[in-house]
Amino acid sequence: MRYSEASARYAKALHMIADGDADNSILNGLRGLGAALEKLGDDKELFFSPLITSKEKWEILSTALSGQNSSLLNFIELLIAKNRFNLILEIVAAYQNISDDINGVTRGSVEAAAPLTQEERRDIEELISRVTKKKAILEYKENTSLIGGVFAQVAGHTFDDTIETQLTLMSEQLKRRAH
């Protein structure tokens, strides 16, 4: 997910006040909040609406987030007070990115024509980890429009080993040899 500069600054500030175990606690809390908002679909816009007062938003969220890290709760309360809660999903993505950079992790997606076995997934993750020099965490999707092979996008890298691409490359090589 792309995020704004403001979201990146909020995420960086939150990360600065977190330390060690609190960082994981905050990240898990942010992920949970983001997932809950995503499940609401279009109804999540109610939390971003100026028609609901800051006090009402905080009452709802503080109840839902009870038991979370106090730094996270204070941060959410600040976002609500400053009318910046609409940035929360971007802040989650930015915070995840900061955490991934610190922990040497890269995330991406892999599309395949058919479901991949655990061994195939492990091989793909190892290959991508070698190229990026980071631990790869991948999301796998089935794409029935592919004839065969896999297509992956990770940290600005594109790995395209689909049959369609292989056939295109072979065609280009044959054309070059013919001329």
pLDDT per position as a tens digit, 128-168: 999 999 999 999 999 989 989 999 999 888 989 899 999 99
- The CA distances from residue 66 to 15, 59, 62, 87, 163, in Å, are 20, 11, 6, 21, 51
Amino acid found at 38: E
**Domain limits at 122?**
105-178
Note the pTM of the prediction, 2 decimals. Answer: 0.76
- Say yes or no: 112 and 42 in one domain: no
> What's the CATH code of the domain at 56?
1.10.520
Q: What is the pLDDT of residues 25-50, one digit of tens each?
A: 899 999 999 988 888 888 788 778 88
Instruction: Tell me, yes or no, whether 88 and 169 share the same domain.
Output: no
Take residue 72 and report the two structure tokens written for it.
């996270």
Q: Which two tokens stand for residue 22?
A: 């609190």
Residue 11: both structure tokens together: 């995420």
80 and 51 fall within a common domain: yes
Confidence of residue 20 (pLDDT cuts 50, 70, 90): low
Which of 101, 129, 147 marks a domain boundary?
101
Tokens of 132: 């990026």
Q: Based on the structure, what is the number of domains in the chain?
A: 2
